Amino acid sequence: MAIFDALLTFSTAQAVTATAVGTDKVDLSQKRDIGEGENLYVLFTVTEAATAAGAATVDFQVVVDDDSALGSPIVVGTSGPIGKADLVIGKQIAVRINPQLASKGERYLGVNYVVATGPLTAGKFSAGVVHGVQDGKKFYPSGYTVGS
């Protein structure tokens, strides 16, 4: 389970059918040292399964831009394309924020949902910055006994 900071949340159950930027962004002119010396991730969560008539994919991107609308973003982290069949409710995708983002000289940090071979007919996603990623989904074989 991840703990999210409201000021570091980029979208909450955002409906995405075509390529779109997250509903919120972080102004790095106000929060300059975000994650300095630490590994930070953007954790994307599927809150409504993705569907499409074709073989749609979504690339979950962490971006920076000098424009608050994130109109010409520079990608500083990406999941790569993920097929709609894998974008089921509850699926989480962690994308590491490139620690070199400060050297890009851009003011805003945000996310971009890049839909290819779309559009999607449904799909909602949430995204926010987290310090660490814990999957909590470890499975071990059964059938062993613990001796006394």
List the pLDDT tens digit at each of the 148 positions of the chain.
Answer: 567 788 889 999 999 999 999 999 999 887 666 766 778 899 999 999 999 998 999 999 999 999 999 999 999 999 999 999 999 999 999 999 887 776 778 899 999 999 999 899 999 999 999 987 766 666 667 776 666 6
- Domains belonging to the chain, first-starting first, are 6-130 (2.60.120.1110)
Q: Give me the amino acid identity at 121.
A: T
Nearest to 26 by CA among 68, 73, 59: 68
Per-residue pLDDT tens for 45-66?
A: 999 999 999 899 999 999 999 9
- Asked if 78 and 63 count as a contact pair (C-beta separation under 8 A), the reply is no
| Distance separating alpha carbons of residues 98 and 118, to the nearest angstrom | 28
